[in-house]
Each structure stands twice: as C-alpha cells, then as structure tokens.
Structure 1
Amino acid sequence: MNRFRPLGGAALATAGVAFFAGQFVVQSAWTTPFSWADNTISDLGTAESPWHALMNTVFVANGVLVAIGALLSPRGRAVRALLLGVAAGSVLVGLVPSDAGSGPGGWSGSRCTRCSCGSFSRASG
C-alpha cells in the first residue's frame, strides 16, 4: 500500500467538504435568495456576490486539494487524468470568474489585472 494514499483520500474528502461549506456560507450572504434553478455555482464568484473573494478562494483551494488527492491516491491513469482535469477547471473558475471578461470586447484585445479582492478585472489598453 502506498504510504501517501491516506493523505490523498483526506485531501479529496476535505475538498468536497470545503466546497459545500464555502458555497453554503457565500450563499447565505446574498441579499436576494440564491436559486439552484436560476443561478449557477459560478455566480457565487462574480462581483455581484457579496463574498465573491471567499468563493473564488474556495474554488482555487478545492482545485489544489483535488490535485493533491489525484497525485497521492494510487488510482488508474484515467481516473488520475480526470481528477487533474477537474482540479484545473476548479482553479480556473476561481482565478477567472464568469464576469471577468464582461463588457465591450470581452477578453479580446484586453489585458487582465488583479484587483485587491483576488479576482481578475478587465483593464483597458
């Protein structure tokens, strides 16, 4: 048995718990009720969310924990590849919220700058 396997399992379990706990906390801060039918999980990380920086941090932490779990758990190559894909997607969702490229032109011809809250914003020029 791989001696790091329990750490990989713990990382994956922590990722799941942290994701749902963070989501619950950020949802509770919304002034209008968060709707599973009308909103996406990514909405919790947009600028309209009161605690968007926390949700984006949760997305990134979740991705890092899933990657650790994928690398430390001795699963097949296909499972490891899928988990690493999930990890990369989660980190990207946290670093580039769905509203980051909104506005005229979106990302085309624009550059990104980081604001103090940790999410990206569009910069002109």
Structure 2
Amino acid sequence: MRIAGILLLLAGVQYVVLEYLAASAWHHPTYSYAVNFISDLGNPVAGDVFEGRAINSPWHVLMDIAFVVQGLLFIAASVLLLGRASGRLARVLLALAVVHGAGVILIGFFHESSAALHNGVLVVHGIAAAAAILAGNIIPLVIGAKGGQLGAPGWLRKASTALGILGLAAFVLLQVDRPLYHAAGGVPERAAVYTILIFEAMAGAALLARARNPVPLPAVHHATERVTP
C-alpha cells in the first residue's frame, strides 16, 4: 500500500515537472498553457504547424517520457492495490486503470504532428488521448460512489466525485465548443487532465496515511465480498 501511494505521487509530480521543463524550452514562439495543447510539447517536428499552432518543442522527449512514465506508474500502483482483490468493483477499477495507463503510454509514442495527420497516426493519438482522459476521470467518480467499500476516507470520496465531474465536463466542453478549442483549447484540456493528476496526488497521500494507520483488514474483505457477482 505504501509503495502504491508513492508511485501515484511520483506519477503526478514527474508529469507536472517534465511538462514545465518542456514548456520552458520553447522559444519563438513562447509556449502558452492556455492556447497550446499538452500534446504540442511532445511534437518532435521542429517548425511544424498543426491546427494553426506553430510548434517548436526542442525538449519534446521530456514530455513523451512524462506520458509514458505516468501510464506505467499508474498501472503499477493499480496492480499493487487491486491485482489480488476479488469482486466486481476491483475488476472495474483495474480495467479503467489499464485503459488510462495504456492510453497515456500510447500518446508518448504516437505523437501529434502534421505528418501524423497525413499518414493516419494521429487517429491512434486521438483515440489514446480520449481513452486516457475518459477512463482517468471515471476512476475518481467510481471511487466517489463506491470507494467506501475499499476503505477510502470520506474526504477523498467527496473530492474524487468533484474532480471526476469537473474533468469530464471539461473534456465535453473541449469537444463541443470549437471556437474555444481554437482560441484557448489548452484551458479545458488541462482541466480534464489535471483533475486526474490531482486525484493521483490525493489518492497517493491517502494511501500513505492509511499505511501509517492501517484500517482493519476484515472490514475491507467483508466489503469486497458484497460486490462479488
């Protein structure tokens, strides 16, 4: 449990740090957190123009590493927590975690670029991003609704519900409001992604706190049995 908590904290921290470093390396033009998308940072084509945005990410490797590490750590933490658990709830959460993690990993390998648009690779990037964001925001909603069966504290369940709703709403807004997408798409995109990172940090902190003050295991096992089909 302690290792899983550390992995979740590391996943979010390394993502934000590497994203900042990649963004700080942009020159001519300057990277905008409001206008530019996160995937712009992972675009390996210097001088590329994608959807009207001028791309110049000399440290694109850092952002792609952040994607891959985020996915791997999220999956690893979920397997440690749920890999041996029985019951429908555990299986659903583990499946969602794998979808989220795999989606983020694919983003790190299948980049956004004008070349990717023409050769069809961008389809993989888009599907992976949508899957990662949707699964990543559904997980906190599930924790908010059913997390008590796994021993999640009340504050985490309430905060998770709010984060999941905000993240999904931001994702929908990004898809339906095309003027916003082109003028300041980085805002709703980051709202949809950062909610996942915040959830990771809170879940990691909750796991570390629980490791210091363990919840009696019989109560957790009993709750797990109730959701077994």
Deviation at 1:19, TM superposition (A): 0.4
1:116 corresponds to which residue? none
Deviation at 1:35, TM superposition (A): 1.6
1:40 corresponds to which residue? 37
Matching residue's letter, 2:30: P
State whether structure 2 residue 28 is matched by structure 1 residue 23. no
2:120 corresponds to which residue? 107
Whole-Å separation in 2 of the counterparts to 1:14 and 1:60: 13
Percent of matched pairs sharing the same residue:
34
Give the root-mean-square deviation of aligned CA atoms.
Answer: 1.8
Larger Rg: 2
Q: Contact 2:19/2:62 (CA < 8 Å) preserved in 1?
A: no
2:112 corresponds to which residue? 98
Deviation at 1:30, TM superposition (A): 0.7
**Matches for 1:106-125 after TM superposition, within 5 Å:** 106-107=119-120
State whether structure 2 residue 7 is matched by structure 1 residue 11. yes
**Matches for 1:27-106 after TM superposition, within 5 Å:** 27-31=23-27, 32-47=29-44, 48-74=56-82, 76-99=90-113, 101-103=116-118, 106=119
Q: Contact 2:42/2:63 (CA < 8 Å) preserved in 1?
A: yes
Deviation at 1:36, TM superposition (A): 2.4
Q: Contact 2:42/2:61 (CA < 8 Å) preserved in 1?
A: yes
Deviation at 1:13, TM superposition (A): 1.1
Whole-Å separation in 2 of the counterparts to 1:36 and 1:82: 28
Structure 1's unaligned 5+ residue stretches are: 109-125
Q: Contact 2:43/2:112 (CA < 8 Å) preserved in 1?
A: yes
1:118 corresponds to which residue? none
Matching residue's letter, 1:33: T
TM-score (norm: length of structure 2):
0.42
Deviation at 1:102, TM superposition (A): 3.5
Structure 2's unaligned 5+ residue stretches are: 45-55, 122-229
